[in-house]
């Protein structure tokens, strides 16, 4: 492992992705990636008596199924890394309690999946760990309760709003060889361009994505066209348009190979305004569609930039602007 440029890590042993599993709610299951998700729930309560418990079960199911896919048991986990949107990242904590695995809880709001992957990749690249299990997710109903209004309150959502994805994704990194590797990563800085509107997350997070993506291209001396796919986490429709504008202004024009998980996860008929958001958004798309395409060789080099808005309801109510962060990993697939 070595540092290149200002903020980028190059992995020398190249941690491998040996297994991934995605589980989503019924609404996400009707979206654009329905054929790629591993499991689609019929009911977002997932046979539990509260949505918080359902979110935990999403985590546990994703982890157990991902372990099963690569013939691992929970005793084999060297380190479990994860986070979520709930206060004190309870869903991840309770998941770790069930799995009885060494656990590192991380928080990067909606960027948590990529943050987990970076931490896991570093631990494996240092030759210390054989595997790292990264799991993150979110639930629409728990996020609404914590950040917004009760579900049954008759309110109108503003046109800039996004819909928190109900879903979880688990990705298992290993020192064992596989088709998909993490080759580089860029750790983002907290970026705050003084956007205060909590209903416009895309607008608040776009500058963070810009800074990380720009730094990555500068550090690696590459340009957007060198990659098959550049994927942002959950900027949504508006946020990704803004990122295109900002990147062009900085001299890197994003072409047709740029997409946003939040914008793509729901179809236009689902009326979710700017698209999906939440830890589960990038986690479920990454652990299903992206890794699937990399495995079968249809994609070779994929940049994933997950963005997160690091505010709380208290900081927003006290008038603070929204600090945001974006972390980046470069995934590469072998020729098949």
Binding site for other proteins (CB under 8 A): 49-50, 145, 149-160, 193-195, 200, 203, 207, 238, 241-242, 245
- Minimum distance from residue 51 beta carbon to other proteins (Å): 9
Of 52 and 78, which has the nearer Cβ to other proteins? 52
Of 155 and 221, which has the nearer Cβ to other proteins? 155
Of 152 and 335, which has the nearer Cβ to other proteins? 152
175 vs 160: CA distance, rounded Å: 42
- Minimum distance from residue 149 beta carbon to other proteins (Å): 7
Whether 24 contacts 37, CB under 8 Å? yes
- Token digits of residue 89: 């990242």
Q: Which long-range contacts (CB under 8 A, 24 or more apart) does 240-247 make?
A: 240/202, 240/206, 242/202, 242/203, 242/206, 243/206, 243/209, 243/210, 243/213, 246/206, 246/207, 246/210, 247/210, 247/213, 247/214
Of 228 and 320, which has the nearer Cβ to other proteins? 320
Of 132 and 195, which has the nearer Cβ to other proteins? 195
- Minimum distance from residue 256 beta carbon to other proteins (Å): 21
- Minimum distance from residue 202 beta carbon to other proteins (Å): 10
Residue with token string 């996400």: 28
Pairing type for strands 163-164 and 229-232 reads: unpaired
| Ramachandran sector of residue 136 (left: φ over 0; alpha: ψ -120 to 50; beta: rest) | beta
Which H or E run includes 303? strand 301-309
Of 33 and 266, which has the nearer Cβ to other proteins? 266
- Minimum distance from residue 3 beta carbon to other proteins (Å): 27
Whether 219 contacts 187, CB under 8 Å? no
- Minimum distance from residue 195 beta carbon to other proteins (Å): 7
């Amino acid at each position: 492992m070595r540092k290149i440029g200002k903020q980028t890590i190059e992995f020398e042993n190249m941690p491998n992705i040996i297994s991934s599993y995605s589980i989503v709610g019924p609404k996400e299951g009707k979206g654009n990636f329905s054929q790629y998700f591993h499991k689609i729930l019929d009911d977002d309560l997932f046979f539990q008596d509260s949505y918080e418990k359902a979110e935990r079960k999403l985590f546990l199911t994703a982890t157990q199924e991902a372990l099963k896919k690569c013939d691992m048991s929970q005793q084999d986990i060297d380190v479990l890394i994860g986070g979520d949107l709930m206060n004190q990242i309870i869903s991840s904590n309770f998941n770790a309690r069930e799995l009885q695995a060494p656990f590192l809880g991380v928080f990067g709001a909606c960027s948590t999946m990529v943050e987990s992957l970076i931490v896991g990749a570093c631990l494996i690249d240092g030759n210390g760990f054989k595997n790292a299990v990264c799991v993150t997710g979110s639930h629409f109903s728990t996020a609404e309760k914590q950040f917004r209004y009760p579900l049954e309150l008759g309110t109108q959502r503003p046109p800039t709003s996004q819909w928190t994805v109900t879903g979880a994704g688990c990705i298992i990194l290993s020192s064992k060889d596989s088709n998909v590797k993490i080759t580089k990563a860029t750790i983002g800085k907290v970026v705050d361009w003084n956007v205060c509107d909590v209903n416009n997350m895309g607008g608040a997070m776009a500058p963070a994505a810009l800074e990380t993506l720009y730094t990555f291209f500068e550090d690696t001396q590459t340009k957007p066209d060198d990659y098959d796919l550049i994927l942002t986490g959950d900027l949504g429709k508006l946020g990704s348009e803004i990122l295109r504008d900002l990147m062009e202004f900085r001299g890197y024009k994003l072409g047709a190979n740029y997409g946003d998980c939040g914008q793509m996860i729901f179809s236009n008929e689902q009326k979710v305004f700017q698209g999906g958001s939440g830890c589960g958004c990038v986690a479920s798309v990454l652990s299903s569609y992206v890794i699937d395409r990399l495995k079968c060789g249809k994609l070779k080099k994929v940049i994933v930039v997950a963005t997160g808005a690091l505010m709380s309801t208290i900081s927003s109510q006290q008038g603070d602007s929204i600090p945001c962060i974006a972390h980046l990993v470069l995934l590469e697939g072998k020729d098949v």
